[in-house]
Amino acid sequence: MTLPTITSLQNPRVKEAVKLRDRKGREQQGRILIEGVREIGRALQAGVEITEAFFCESLCTDPSAAELLSQLRQRKKIFLLSVSEQVMAKLSFGDRAEGLIAIARPPQRSLDELAAALKKKAPPLFAVVEGVEKPGNLGAILRTADAAGVSGLIVADGGTDLFNPNAIRASLGAIFTVPVCAATSEQTVAWLRKQKLRIFATMVEAAVSYSEADFTRPAAIVFGSEARGLSPLWTGSEITPISLPMLGSVDSLNLSATAAILCYEALRQRKMAAPRLPARG
């Protein structure tokens, strides 16, 4: 059955979806808003439960958007709603005009569930971000984690919820492909110790340079917020403080830039340490 196109901004479903742009609305409804063809597509591939989707036919001009809309139409459990360009603009939180917005149940993961990632990649490498407040930073770190093959990401005492629309957007949908969960810092420290991971904590004043750290064994790299750094929990004989050399006038890098450098340093070390394959022929 073809439903009429929604043109009113006062439509109840539209009003409820708009509320998902705010954390309070997401928590009250237990739903999240996903905007963008790549992001929705990756959510589908990851098995995220999408309950409904808004589309604007006149804006779905890109072949990838048209293909995704076709896929959504084939999913019988997804309720599709056609909307006008004005309504789509109201639903959108950025300046994109791809014509598709999905509403989904947020994936629920715990630290125990994250432990499954230990067996998938050897040796495992986890990233921990404590006190991250900017959803754009969180999304960028998730994008790096996906690209560098990080086993999982833990958001400890985060100031932003995992599925903030800006975090989803900045991650390009990697938030659905990288095992990620939220926990307290105390829970995170205890979990890392239980898993017997080598813990490296990034600190500006640390004497050990990141290039001197050995990331070739099962490990976790912990990053603090740009404003406050890491909490006192990240100290102890089993935790190695590491730093990046700062040769100019600034004393720190953007959180996502620091994460990118260290995750790729770990990837470089692991590739160098991997047994070389025998030559063919």
Token representation of residue 278? 């025998």
- Of 193, 186, 190, 194, nearest to 238 by C-alpha is 193
What is the spatial distance between Cα 197 and Cα 204, in angstroms, rounded to a whole number? Answer: 22
> For domain 111-273, which CATH number applies: 3.40.50.970, 3.90.930.12, 3.40.1280.10, 3.30.70.580?
3.40.1280.10
CATH 3.40.1280.10 residue ranges for the chain:
111-273
What type of residue is 162? L
CATH number of 12-104: 3.30.1330.30
CATH 3.30.1330.30 residue ranges for the chain:
12-104
- Of 124, 169, 145, 156, nearest to 260 by C-alpha is 145
pLDDT digit string (tens) for the chain, length 281 residues: 457 899 999 999 999 999 999 999 999 999 999 999 999 999 999 999 999 999 999 999 899 999 999 999 999 899 999 999 999 999 987 666 789 999 999 988 889 888 876 666 678 999 999 999 899 999 999 999 999 999 999 999 988 889 999 999 999 999 999 999 999 999 999 999 999 999 999 998 888 999 999 999 999 999 998 778 899 999 988 899 999 887 887 777 789 999 999 999 999 999 988 765 444 43
- Of 199, 205, 9, nearest to 89 by C-alpha is 9
pTM of the model: 0.89
